Chains A and B, each alone.
With several copies, the nearest count.
Chain A
Amino acid sequence: MTATTTEHETPAASAPTQLTMAGALNAALRDAMAADDRVVVYGEDVGPLGGVFRVTDGLQARFGEDRIWDSPLAESGIVGTAIGMAMYGMRPVVEMQFDAFSYPAFEQMVSHVAKMRNRTKGRMTLPMVVRIPCAGAIGGVEHHSDSSEAYWTATPGLTVVMPSNPADAYSMLREAIDSDDPVVFMEPKSRYWSKAPLTLPVTTAPMDRAVVEREGTDVTLLGYGPTVRTALEAADAAEAEGLSIEVVDLRSLSPFDDETVGASVRKTSRAAVIHEAAQFGGYGAEVAARVTERNFHHLAAPVLRVTGFDIPYPSPKLEEHYLPTADRVLAALDTWEWDD
């Protein structure tokens, strides 16, 4: 991935510093709020506390309560009022505290956020961002580790993205806030504290594009958010065994970048998609289905899905058994008939 200088109207570049993904998101919010006073931020605990993951740390002190504030504890209320604010031309960025706590807002998301532009023939647009700290692997008790992306990606009208690293986190959040369409911005909780040296502002690939994270010739691994690292680990391990793995970070879940993924798959002729969510009806199904539809005659083997099991997310002490690991990825690749 290349981090070039930005097109965003943000403060001048500074020397590279180690930034966590949480820090990069914080900086993106800060810079977006500074650049555009239509950007407002609210949700549960985003004010003095700075969010339970500290993504909004310090922003209320800097921008005041009229730009960032704690709302009543009601997710439908948060998303529903954000719709109204966006209708008035604001650019609200709201936070759902965890995937599972976005569910009370489901009707507002599906029946309004996703449909408003279409219902009104483009007259009424909703430039808003719904941030969702997502997925698991943080030892959270029940309802704190759901993966909700399949619900959003199955909903026409929503744009759904998930960064896997600090640079993308910054760049994609800025782009999401600048977007005239609503964006479901998913933040993998287990990556919040991952670090990278960054010079801000940073602009990475457009948020609707997948990116080849590592080149390879034998297999394409498709990951997003937390599973990009899993894919890279698998690629490292496979290299020792003489298997060359290409790793693609999908970044944009909806739309899907058929071009980048297709090019990779046509090169390697084998692909697997990795996600934390359960397999049945998960986002990987769409990936597998469309990659197969579009590249069937280039495929030497079925597109595999290396995912969580088809069960509710487990309790903290059992989650290690549920999560897809590099080992599981490699074991899955072994199930292919490699002699084909």
Chain B
Amino acid sequence: MRTPARWRNIGRMSLDVEHDSVRTLPSEKPIRLLDNAGHAVRGAAAGGFELPELDTLLELYRRMVVARRFDVQVTALTKQGRLATYPSAYGQEACEIGAISAIEAQDWFFPTYRDSIALLTRGIDPGDILQSFRGDWHNGYDQHAHRCASQTTPLATQALHAVGLAHAARLRQDPIVAMTYLGDGATSEGDAHEAFNFAAVWQTPTVFLVQNNQFAISVPVSRQTHAVTLADKAIGYGMPGFHVDGNDVAAMYAVTRAAVGRARSGGGPTLIEGLTYRIESHTNSDDPTRYRSARDVEHWKRRDPIERLEKYLVSEGALTESLRAEMTDAAEAVAAHTRDVMTTEAELDPLELFDHVYARPRATLLEQRARLEAELAEAATHAGAAAPHAGAAR
């Protein structure tokens, strides 16, 4: 493990010490490569980042269009009672898609409950993503196959997992980056601090994306921090921090891509704040009229990340009608598949409750399993049904 130069031999030296820690204040104005009118931004406001190639932008656009369609579909299914809950990322597509698109297949992703569309972009089947929100099982996809940890609810806890995994990869000398998303609210948790700090001290290849969607359920970000930006926190850990326009997918992609590259080449962690807005309610059981005005929401709807990129792509002549139609079709196909899987009730086996608690079955659990099995059998008999686990179907 490397000792930062700043502290090296501090005992023997004078108080004046050199260092290689990063100490540059993030720009107060969020870094932006495309403005809301879809015009390219250059110069200081772009923070030294370059607008990605048109091909890349088209692909980001396609991903956002698919993600949006999926998100809208799932919200609709939730309103129909098909899901127990769904935390929508409507409006946050630039953050969600820009950042996830910056990592490679071998990299790992540590998402929150909010980040279903990033998982979709990562190639996970809608049915697998939504198993948890439908209430079938806590997590429904193969973490190892997709290199995506399960969506985490206890806030900021997964950031530490990302740091640990990144550190393990580094010890194994695997060129792997771990990216994790956090909400603005989650930055207040002790675990966020510990994750930033461990990452910086160990110089792990970790990229932290704070999606500042300006609310933690009902609580505005003004109640979470007194700092000028959430990216300012990076200073306290000696790592680079970037304050980015989170509704500009070009900027989100460019900045995260740079951070991923830096991490992969041994440059350590980066903290990125994407300033965005949650257009939908926190989850379906939330009532946002209690804490924010329709006017605010309208204001942010007019800053839509997809429309912004679309304007640019159209003005560049890159987004042809046929491309657009193709993307819409792809999005509709995902929505249709999502409807299909979510309207087919899964066969659940209640006895599986006992199967994954420990590697080796415990006697007590086997006893309890046997009792439930007997109950289910009896229920099936009473119901006159032939199926052994009739209790499971509902």
Contact call A120/B139, Cβ cutoff below 8 A: yes
- In the assembly, what is the distance between CA of A111 and CA of B285, in Å? 23
A44-B219, A309-B368 are contacts. A85–B195 as well, Cβ < 8 Å? no
Contact call A104/B219, Cβ cutoff below 8 A: no
Residue B197, interface by CB 8 Å = yes
Q: Which residue of A lies closest to B155 (CB)?
A: A73
Residue B172, interface by CB 8 Å = yes
A: number of interface residues (CB 8 Å): 82
Residue A210, interface by CB 8 Å = no
Contact call B365/A309, Cβ cutoff below 8 A: yes
Report B-chain residues with C-beta under 8 Å of the C-beta of A302: none
Residue B363, interface by CB 8 Å = yes
A121-B137, A315-B138 are contacts. A81–B160 as well, Cβ < 8 Å? yes
Report A-chain residues with C-beta under 8 Å of the C-beta of B178: 84
Contact call A310/B135, Cβ cutoff below 8 A: no
Shortest A223–chain B CB gap in Å is 20
Report A-chain residues with C-beta under 8 Å of the C-beta of B352: 121
Residue A13, interface by CB 8 Å = no
Contact with B along A314-336 (1 / 0, CB 8 A): 11111011100001100100000
Shortest B54–chain A CB gap in Å is 37
Residue B307, interface by CB 8 Å = no
Chain A residues numbered 13-70 whose CB sits less than 8 Å from any CB in chain B: 40, 44-45, 47-50, 52, 65-66, 69-70
A81-B167, A84-B160 are contacts. A119–B138 as well, Cβ < 8 Å? yes
Q: Which of B22-30, B38-46, B184-192 contacts the other chain?
A: B184-192
- In the assembly, what is the distance between CA of A327 and CA of B165, in Å? 46
Q: Which residue of B lies closest to A156 (CB)?
A: B357
Residue B132, interface by CB 8 Å = yes
Contact with A along B128-146 (1 / 0, CB 8 A): 0000111111110011100
- In the assembly, what is the distance between CA of A39 and CA of B34, in Å? 48
Contact call B197/A143, Cβ cutoff below 8 A: no
- In the assembly, what is the distance between CA of A117 and CA of B118, in Å? 23
Shortest A87–chain B CB gap in Å is 5
Contact call A49/B290, Cβ cutoff below 8 A: yes
Q: Which residue of A lies closest to B172 (CB)?
A: A88
B: number of interface residues (CB 8 Å): 79
Residue from the list B157, B165, B391 in contact with A112, Cβ < 8 A:
B157
Shortest B296–chain A CB gap in Å is 13
Residue A107, interface by CB 8 Å = yes
Report B-chain residues with C-beta under 8 Å of the C-beta of A124: 143-144, 149-150
Contact call A70/B223, Cβ cutoff below 8 A: yes
Report B-chain residues with C-beta under 8 Å of the C-beta of A89: 168
Q: Which residue of B lies closest to A66 (CB)?
A: B171
Contact call A85/B350, Cβ cutoff below 8 A: no
Contact call B195/A107, Cβ cutoff below 8 A: no
Q: Which residue of B lies closest to A144 (CB)?
A: B153
Residue B380, interface by CB 8 Å = no
- In the assembly, what is the distance between CA of A315 and CA of B178, in Å? 28
Shortest A92–chain B CB gap in Å is 8
Contact call B197/A111, Cβ cutoff below 8 A: no
Contact call A142/B138, Cβ cutoff below 8 A: yes
Contact call A90/B168, Cβ cutoff below 8 A: yes
Residue A82, interface by CB 8 Å = yes
Residue A139, interface by CB 8 Å = yes
Contact call B188/A77, Cβ cutoff below 8 A: yes
Contact call B169/A88, Cβ cutoff below 8 A: yes
Contact call A85/B167, Cβ cutoff below 8 A: yes
Residue A95, interface by CB 8 Å = no
Q: Which residue of B lies closest to A255 (CB)?
A: B362
Report A-chain residues with C-beta under 8 Å of the C-beta of B139: 119-121
Residue from the list A40, A107, A256 in contact with B171, Cβ < 8 A:
A40
A84-B167, A87-B149, A255-B363 are contacts. A44–B157 as well, Cβ < 8 Å? no
Residue B162, interface by CB 8 Å = yes
Residue from the list B165, B190, B285, B368 in contact with A88, Cβ < 8 A:
B165
Contact with B along A242-286 (1 / 0, CB 8 A): 000000000000011011000000000000000000001000000
- In the assembly, what is the distance between CA of A122 and CA of B355, in Å? 8
Contact call A72/B358, Cβ cutoff below 8 A: no
Residue B377, interface by CB 8 Å = no
Residue from the list A45, A72, A81, A121 in contact with B224, Cβ < 8 A:
A72
Q: Which residue of B lies closest to A83 (CB)?
A: B161
Residue B218, interface by CB 8 Å = yes
Residue A197, interface by CB 8 Å = no
- In the assembly, what is the distance between CA of A100 and CA of B223, in Å? 23
Contact call A310/B290, Cβ cutoff below 8 A: no
Residue B7, interface by CB 8 Å = no
Residue A141, interface by CB 8 Å = yes
Residue B216, interface by CB 8 Å = yes
- In the assembly, what is the distance between CA of A266 and CA of B368, in Å? 23
Contact call B354/A311, Cβ cutoff below 8 A: yes
Residue B194, interface by CB 8 Å = yes
A159-B358, A179-B359, A255-B364 are contacts. A100–B353 as well, Cβ < 8 Å? no
Contact call A47/B362, Cβ cutoff below 8 A: no
Residue from the list A71, A85, A317 in contact with B168, Cβ < 8 A:
A85
Residue from the list B154, B348, B360, B375 in contact with A143, Cβ < 8 A:
B154
Can you report 25 residue pairs joining A to B where beta carbons are below 8 Å apart? A47-B219, A49-B217, A70-B218, A80-B157, A80-B195, A84-B163, A88-B168, A88-B169, A108-B157, A111-B157, A119-B138, A120-B138, A123-B144, A141-B138, A255-B362, A255-B363, A255-B364, A258-B364, A311-B354, A311-B365, A311-B368, A315-B132, A318-B392, A321-B350, A321-B372
Apart from the given pairs A50-B290, A107-B154, A280-B364, 15 other A-B contacts in the complex at a CB distance below 8 Å: A45-B216, A72-B201, A72-B225, A74-B188, A74-B194, A76-B160, A79-B160, A85-B165, A117-B359, A139-B84, A140-B84, A181-B359, A255-B362, A311-B354, A316-B84
| For the complex of A and B, 6 pairs with smallest distance between CB atoms | A84-B164, A80-B160, A316-B135, A81-B164, A77-B194, A49-B218
